[in-house]
Chains A and B, each alone.
Chain A
Amino acid sequence: MGSNMSGMRYEAPGSVDEAVTLLAEAKGAARVLAGGTDLLVQLRAGMISPDLVVDIKKIAETRDITGNGSGFSIGASVSGAEMGEDAKLLAAWPGVVEGAELIGSTQIQSRATMAGNLCNASPAADSVPALIAAGATCTVAGPKGQREVPVKDIPTGPGKTSLGKGEFIVNIKLPARPTYASDAYLRMIPRTEMDIAIVGAGVNLVLDDSGTCTAACVVLGAVGPTTIIVADAAAALIGSKVDAAALAAVSVAASAAASPIDDKRGTIEYRTKVAGVLASRAAAIAADRARSK
């Protein structure tokens, strides 16, 4: 516990408006608490010392998953574990769900939320590539009311978001799903679990009834300060039957688009190569899932 944490205030408002007011009027630093699996780690390490923590879990709008193939709304307090238990969500968006479910251990899963993962803005966040590939949007509540923001516009750099003072995410929305559509998320870690991604790849695609890809989005994580949307990879998929040649082109495009750093978790050379490998593998899985619908 940081030594300047005495005096930290905890509030658990019951409505969006109360939460906005608390955050907007906070004198010092204020943080939003949902699952707490990033916030508490940072508190304990003394990396942050907020004067106010606003727990949003009592706000009804943040707690549920609603919807179906015509579109889902996932509340900001919904945990990865709860997402995995929603059969409709899992069937429509297996990639989004597996991205969220790869965050940490079973214990972390019981608490961690996509909104928190998104707003923590780690370049290696596991839930973000698939969300962006899905074309997800989020409802942001703030002093000026509520607005819909594409998820890709939230993280602006490592640890930084586009949210202003007093703003927080209420829910994340996924669009309607055509029949033969699916997604997938893969990541590279040194062990089998419990690691931060060295590379992440989320692929979302739509096939027509002849098996030809009509829409695609390929997003890389952990190989740049924020996620990277690889337009060339999507272009390689669209119009193809997602065959070996298309997948090879996806791989080349992904490696070319990656701009990673060397750090204690991986090297530039490694991340660049593996970005290509994972992007094509994720595309193959998404296509298989779409075909089997």
Chain B
Amino acid sequence: MTKQHITATINGEEAEYLCEPQETLLDALRDQIGLTGTKEGCSSGDCGACSVMLDGRLVCSCLVLGVEAEGKTVETIEGMANGEDLHPLQQKFLEEAALQCGYCTPGVLIAAKALLDINDNPSETEVRYWLAGNLCRCTGYDKIVRAVMSTAADMRGA
């Protein structure tokens, strides 16, 4: 059991951690770095609660080995706000009640931001298919989809 020493940029800051080869990035974020905002829902890549950005790509951190993050950038929910300024998506989710228990919310926000970063005018269908990998059991997705599209409109200045 040899732990590897990993250096990565997490939410814009250099971070180091030790992890065993079989540990996932999710384990490393939660247990080594202490960033518990990213959640474990299924450990099989089916629920999206563990979503993070890895080198600018939306991934399930439960399906990435902790050692694979060496030299890479990782963005988690804790890095989404800019100090006290919430990201427009975070603010909109609060205003539109796009969360109930809040457990899927970090993953959904990371995923939604990844969508708006590449598509500033997604249709309802595009939003739904983009978020198909983020399970929510509380909301029925309605308010989530509305909040994402409404944020996109705001950000376009529409």
Contacts and interface: CB of A to CB of B under 8 A. Distances in A.
Instruction: Answer whether A and B touch in the complex at a CB cut-off of 8 Å.
Output: yes
Interface of A: 1, 5-10, 12, 33, 36-37, 40-41, 43-45, 53, 55, 57, 79, 81, 104-108, 110-111, 192-194
Contacts of A37: 45, 60, 63
A192 B132 contact: yes
14 contacts: A8-B21, A12-B68, A37-B45, A37-B60, A40-B45, A40-B63, A40-B65, A41-B45, A57-B68, A106-B132, A107-B133, A108-B45, A108-B63, A192-B129
Contact of A106 (B24, B46, B63, B130): B130
Given A107-B45, A107-B111, A194-B133, A5 B22 contact: yes
Interface in B130-156: 130-134
B142 to A, nearest CB: 16
Contacts of A81: 57
B58 interface: yes
Give the size category of B's interface with A: 20 to 34
A108 B133 contact: yes
B52 to A, nearest CB: 9
B7 interface: no
Contacts of A194: 46, 132-133
B45 A104 contact: yes
Contacts of B134: 105
A256 B98 CA distance: 49
B11 interface: no
A104 B62 CA distance: 14
Give the interface centre of B59, B64, B67, B115 by most chain A CB atoms within 10 Å: B59
A106 B62 contact: no
A110 B57 contact: yes
Given A55-B65, A194-B132, 5 more contacts: A6-B20, A10-B67, A104-B45, A106-B130, A110-B57
Nearest to B135: A194
A42 to B, nearest CB: 10
Given A6-B20, A9-B21, A110-B59, A36 B132 contact: no
Contacts of B68: 12, 36, 55, 57
5 closest A-B pairs by beta carbon, nearest first, are: A105-B133, A193-B132, A10-B21, A110-B57, A107-B60
B22 A43 contact: yes
A264 to B, nearest CB: 15
A62 B60 CA distance: 22
Nearest to B132: A193
Contacts of A110: 54, 57-59
A12 B129 CA distance: 33
B128 to A, nearest CB: 8
A158 B93 CA distance: 44
